[in-house]
């Protein structure tokens, strides 16, 4: 099953063009949707999750017309929103069981098996009797994944899932997500390059409502291969370099700026080839350098 998004457009009442002619084809596996805040990622995710309408364009999930057959989509959709809202003082088991009832699972013993299976999948089995309101951020995210997987969805959408997680929690979350991606389309929307680099084989970069790149992560890296150069400079010189070169990024390493510069031609003057990374692709695309 494929998800085919064709020429999707959405303009809000305030005039913001959140989706501007967005076309993407997404296969099963983990797909990273990378973009800075305001790029239009959530607008796209909410549209795919049937929570908001587009102005024009089409979306097909297999033979389902996503924009017009919302009930059919909801049967095969798992959604982990950015904000999960209120966390009731209910145990993890009871809450997930309740959500399963809402999803239409009426057989109590089958439901119990499914709920316990999901809680162990996301490593919350031993916490099943604890109140979800007492969970840490990472545990809540894992609970969110469990609820998104109720009923074996074909399409799972996760919106900014690792924001606010510490490194250990983020790793646990990565491991769970990467297991899910084997037979399902998982779309991971994020502004964190590392999320995409670690998890996704395919990706798109969005900014200001437009798709700037779509393809495999290897293809993305291929676009800058051999064209990124780095140099340690002093803080005082930073402005001068930014004026004279196509600076992709500058970050402090040991208190000194390390700049990455884009150039088709061999560079000298103490510039050395930088190992290409997805962050450089991201910034080069956003700054219209490639
Ligand atoms: P992202 O998820 O990439 O941060 P969003 O889809 O949330 O991007 O937002 C895209 C643009 O649309 C932003 O400029 C945002 O301010 C605007 N926007 C989002 N939701 C609304 C809304 N309900 N009404 C008006 N503008 C909105």
87-112 pLDDT per residue, tens: 778 999 999 999 999 888 999 999 99
In a domain, 209, yes or no: yes
> Which of the two residues, 172 and 186, has the higher pLDDT score?
186
Is the CB of 14 inside a 6 Å radius of any atom of ligand 1?
yes
Query: pLDDT confidence of 85, banded at 50, 70, 90?
Result: low
In a domain, 89, yes or no: no
Boundary-marking domain end, from 190, 222, 254: 222
Query: pLDDT confidence of 82, banded at 50, 70, 90?
Result: confident
Is the CB of 83 inside a 6 Å radius of any atom of ligand 1?
no
Q: 14 with 49, same domain?
A: yes
Q: 126-151, pLDDT tens digit by residue?
A: 999 999 989 988 898 899 999 999 98
> Taking 70 as the threshold, does the pLDDT of residue 184 lie above it?
yes
In a domain, 10, yes or no: yes
Boundary-marking domain end, from 222, 254, 272: 222
Q: 211 with 258, same domain?
A: no
Q: 219-233, pLDDT tens digit by residue?
A: 999 999 999 999 999
Distance 43 CA to ligand 1 centre (A): 6
Q: What is the CATH number of the domain that holds 57?
A: 3.40.50.300
> Taking 70 as the threshold, does the pLDDT of residue 86 lie above it?
no
Burial class (CB in 10 A: 0-12, 13-18, 19+), 191: middle
Q: 62-75, pLDDT tens digit by residue?
A: 999 999 999 999 99
HEC secondary structure over the chain: CCEEEEEEEEECCCCCEEEEEEEEEECCEEEEEECCCCCCHHHHHHHHCCCCCCCEEEEEECCEECCCCHHHHHHCEEEECCCCCCCCCCEHHHHHHHHHHHCCCCCHHHHHHHHHHHHHHCCCHHHCCCEHHHCCHHHHHHHHHHHHCCCCCCEEEEECCCCCCCHHHHHHHHHHHHHHCCCCEEEEEECCHHHHHHHCCEEEEEECCEEEEEEEHHHHHHCCCCCEEEEECCHHHHHHHHHHCCEEEEEEECCEEEEEEECCCCCCCCCEECCCCHHHHHHHHHCCCC
Q: 244-276, pLDDT tens digit by residue?
A: 999 999 899 988 999 999 999 999 889 999 988
Report how many domains make up the chain.
2
Q: Which domain holds residue 261?
A: 225-286
Is the CB of 16 inside a 6 Å radius of any atom of ligand 1?
yes
> Taking 70 as the threshold, does the pLDDT of residue 119 lie above it?
yes
In a domain, 7, yes or no: yes
In a domain, 195, yes or no: yes
Atom of ligand 1 nearest to the CA of 39: 3
Q: 15 with 35, same domain?
A: yes
Is the CB of 62 inside a 6 Å radius of any atom of ligand 1?
no
Distance 159 CA to ligand 1 centre (A): 13
Is the CB of 81 inside a 6 Å radius of any atom of ligand 1?
no
User: What percentage of the chain exceeds 90 in pLDDT?
Assistant: 72
Boundary-marking domain end, from 173, 193, 222: 222
Q: 10 with 59, same domain?
A: yes
In a domain, 212, yes or no: yes
Please, what is the average pLDDT of the chain? Answer: 92
In a domain, 42, yes or no: yes
> Which of the two residues, 210 and 1, has the higher pLDDT score?
210
Q: 200 with 244, same domain?
A: no
User: What percentage of the chain exceeds 70 in pLDDT?
Assistant: 98
Atom of ligand 1 nearest to the CA of 35: 3
Which residue has a Cα nearest atom 12 of ligand 1?
18
Distance 19 CA to ligand 1 centre (A): 9
pLDDT at residue 84 in the model: 67
pLDDT at residue 167 in the model: 86
* Mutation choice for ligand 1 from 12, 82, 207, CB with most ligand atoms inside 8 A: 12
pLDDT at residue 160 in the model: 83
């Amino acid at each position: 099953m494929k998800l085919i998004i064709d020429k999707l457009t959405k303009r809000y009442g305030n005039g913001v063009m959140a989706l501007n002619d967005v076309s993407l084809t997404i296969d099963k596996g983990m797909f990273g949707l990378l973009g800075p805040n305001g790029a239009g990622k959530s607008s796209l995710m909410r549209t795919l999750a049937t929570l908001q309408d587009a102005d024009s364009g089409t979306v097909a999930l297999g033979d389902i017309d996503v924009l017009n057959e919302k009930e059919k989509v909801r049967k095969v959709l798992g959604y982990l929103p950015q904000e999960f809202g209120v966390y009731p003082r209910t145990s993890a088991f009871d809450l997930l069981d309740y959500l399963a009832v809402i999803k239409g699972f009426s057989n109590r013993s089958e439901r119990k098996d499914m709920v316990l299976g999901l809680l162990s999948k996301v490593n919350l089995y031993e916490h099943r009797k604890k109140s979800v309101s007492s969970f840490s951020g990472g545990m809540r995210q894992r609970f969110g994944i469990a609820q998104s997987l109720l009923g074996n969805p074909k399409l799972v959408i996760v919106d900014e899932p690792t924001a606010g997680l510490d490194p250990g929690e983020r790793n646990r979350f990565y491991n769970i997500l990467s297991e899910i991606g084997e037979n399902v389309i998982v779309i991971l929307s994020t502004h964190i390059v590392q999320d995409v680099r670690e998890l996704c084989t395919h990706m798109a970069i969005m900014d200001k409502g437009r798709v700037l790149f779509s393809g495999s992560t290897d293809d993305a890296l291929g676009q800058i291969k051999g064209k990124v150069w780095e140099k340690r400079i002093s803080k005082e010189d930073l402005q001068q370099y930014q004026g004279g070169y196509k600076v992709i990024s500058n970050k402090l390493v040991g208190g000194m700026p390390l700049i990455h510069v884009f150039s088709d031609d061999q560079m000298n003057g103490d510039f050395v080839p930088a190992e290409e990374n997805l962050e450089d692709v991201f910034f080069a695309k956003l700054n219209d350098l490639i």
